[in-house]
Structures are given as structure tokens and as C-alpha cells.
Amino acid sequence: MIERILILGGKGGVGKSSISAATAVALSDLLPDKKILLISFDIAHNLSDMFNTEIGGKLTPITNNLWGVEPDPDAYAEEYTKVFAAKMKKLLKKMPIVGLIPQIKDFIDTTFTADSIPLALKNAMFFQKILDAEDTIYRKGDEEIDFDMIVADFPPTGNMVALFDVPEDTVKVVLKYSLNFYNSVRGSLQGVSKMFKKVMHPFEPTSNQEGLGEELVKMLTELEERGERISELIHNVGSLRLVTIAEKPSFEEIKRARDLTEKYVNLDGVHINMLIPEDHAKTCDFCGKVRSLQQKYLKDIENEFQHTKIWQSDKLIEEPIGLEGLRRLARAIYDNASAQEILYPK
Ligand SMILES: Nc1ncnc2c1ncn2[C@@H]1O[C@H](COP(=O)(O)OP(=O)(O)O)[C@@H](O)[C@H]1O
Ligand SMILES: [Mg+2]
């Protein structure tokens, strides 16, 4: 059962992916009995580069209790649309007249394609699949993994909001797709109706059709319930952490992100990354100047996010890459904090 979902957001290049990975590694070290999933929604996936090991669309073990995945939104959308198209074909076959039109099958096959779904929705569909309580058991071969915690590396603000938004609006989106579809079918039916010299409504209920409407309503109800389940889960166990560097543009971005995500998820942490360490500022004039500007923004950020836990992390001389590199970054961020303090700050 999912106990906690940590979501990392912020502008590109500020260290979201690195901090997500470092956090997942730290939790995996501190909580050997918990199963942790690190998932990247970055289109330009880089988990593989960070861990120096190939991590793709399949669940990949990183440590004993940590797995990584870079979901391929197309692959999942493909799977989903296939199921949807199959259901539609079954439904339409049972319909009078419609079921007799030979082109219907081709029409469904070409209408319900993964290509017709926008990327944000594909990502959201995958996110929902992972978060959905009934769907969190991942199959890898014969092994089943029931995750306790998820660390999600989210895309920058605009696409991040889409990930939260779609679960609440799934039904509307699906309805829109279905309605487009119905309208197209209706168009092609008008020709047939004329042949019969009778204007027929394609979905006029007849006796053998009553079950169909019910089945459609059931599908939509299930989707609606799933959307509600996911929104509730994110409200209850979700935690948003915004990552920034001590510079204006990324500071502005996290303020926007805070306002736009307020209604979906609780913001309970801000990371200020890549700070110039004090000792370097003393020996290098350039570092000193950069540092004093950073310190000004640091104060502004602290002021703006007074009621939120703030974690600071220095810019490391060595890039935080590989398990050891990420552990170094985790120490720079969390120092000796306990798992409890990382999971539930303040
Ligand atoms: N504290 C840090 N010190 C040094 N390098 C860092 C630090 N945090 C991140 N990096 C490096 O900065 C680059 C961008 O980080 P990344 O996590 O990919 O950012 P994002 O996911 O926000 O685009 C990467 O090369 C990463 O290794
Ligand atoms: Mg990234």
C-alpha cells in the first residue's frame, strides 16, 4: 500500500532529477524494509545517466529495495487504446446497422490510436495507472512489487499541472474522445440511413441494445471512480517539494508552481540547490560575488516560504552521479535527518 508519494517539481536544470534520485536512495538506505519506486516523467529521461545503468520503460532494480522506471507514455497509451478499441468494437457489433458496416472495424482501429492522445494525457494515464490502488502491484516476470513509497520526478510547471489535473477530469476527457467518435460514426451512418429511406438514430435503443448503454455507463463510472481515488490519494499521502536555485527565474517559477498546484497537493518542502559553499567564497573572488547574490535570493525565498520546510544543498565539485554520488548529494541536503524527517518535514 502506498504510504507516501513525494513529488519533485521546479524549473529545468535546477537539480530536480538529481534531488529526486538522491532522496529515493536516502530512503532506500534508511528504510530497508520499504519498497521504493523512483519514477521520472521527464521527457528527456536521465535516470540511466544518473545511475550509470540502463533504466527504461521496465521496472529496473537499483538497490535491494529501490526500483526505477522511465515510463514510455506511448507504450502505455497503446495498451490502453487497444483495450478501449476492442471494447468499442464489441459494443458496435451488437448494434443494429452499425454492426453491419464493414468499415466500422477499420474506423475504430484508426480513430483510437495512441497518436491521437496528447503527451500530457499519456503521461497522466501512466501516472494514474501507477497510483491507482488496484494497479500498484507491478509485474516483473513473476515477481510482484507492492510499493510503499513513490518518488516522482515531475516535468516543469505547465506539464506538472496537467498530471494533477487529468485525474480530476478523466471522465470529461474520455467523454470528449468518445463524443468525437460518435459524431464520426453518426456521419457515416447518415449515408446508410438514406439507403433505407428512413432517418435512423444510430443509438436508438432497441431490445438487444439495452445492455450496451449500461456497459458504457459502467466504463465511465469506473473511470470517474478511479479519478476520484487518485485525487484522494494525492491529497492524503502526496507531498510536493519544489526545487530551485538561488536565482530569480527559478524562484519565480516555484512561486507559480505553488499557486497552480495548491488545490491538488500539499506543498511541504522547498529545496534550494547549488549554493556556493562559504569556504570557497573566501578564496575565490568570483565565487564570493556569486555567493552574496545567492544569499540575497536565499533570504527572499525563505521569506516567501516561511511556513515551509527549506532544505539547502551546496553545489558539489563532483557531479552527483552513481549511487555514491547521489548519496553524497543526499548528505548535502538532509545531513543526518531521519527517514521520518525526510518524509514528513516539520
Ligand atoms: N548540488 C549539486 N551539485 C553539483 N551538481 C549538481 C547538483 N545538483 C544537480 N547537479 C547537476 O546539475 C545538472 C542538472 O541537474 P538535474 O538533476 O538533471 O536537473 P533537472 O532535473 O532539474 O533538469 C546535472 O548535471 C546534475 O548532475
Ligand atoms: Mg530532470
The single-letter DSSP state of residue 276 is P
| 121/114 Cα distance (integer angstroms) | 10
Closest CA to 275 of 239, 256, 306, 301: 301
45/183 same-domain check: no
Whether 211 maps to a domain, the answer reads yes
Domain boundary among 179, 209, 227: 227
184/316 same-domain check: no
| 214/209 Cα distance (integer angstroms) | 9
Tally of domains in the chain: 2
Task: Enter the C-alpha cell of residue 202.
Answer: 444510430
Whether 163 maps to a domain, the answer reads no
What is the residue-level pLDDT of the chain in tens, covering all 346 positions?
A: 889 999 999 999 999 999 999 999 999 999 999 999 999 887 776 899 999 999 888 889 999 999 998 887 777 777 767 776 777 677 767 666 666 666 767 777 776 677 766 676 677 777 777 776 444 444 445 456 789 999 999 888 777 777 777 665 655 555 555 555 555 555 554 444 444 434 445 455 444 444 555 665 666 677 667 777 778 888 899 999 999 999 999 999 999 999 999 988 999 999 999 999 999 888 999 999 999 999 999 999 999 999 999 999 999 999 999 999 999 999 999 999 999 999 999 8
The single-letter DSSP state of residue 169 is H
Q: How far is the CA of 343 from the centre of ligand 1 (A)?
A: 22
Q: What are phi and psi of 37, to 5 degrees?
A: -120, 125
- Cell numbers 552513481 label which residue? 322
Q: How far is the CA of 213 from the centre of ligand 2 (A)?
A: 44
Ion ligand 2 neighbours, Cβ < 5 Å: 16-17, 42
Q: Which domain holds residue 110?
A: 75-123+168-227
| 175/84 Cα distance (integer angstroms) | 13
Domain boundary among 181, 205, 227: 227
Atom of ligand 1 lying closest to residue 317 CA: 4
Whether 218 maps to a domain, the answer reads yes
Q: How far is the CA of 230 from the centre of ligand 2 (A)?
A: 24
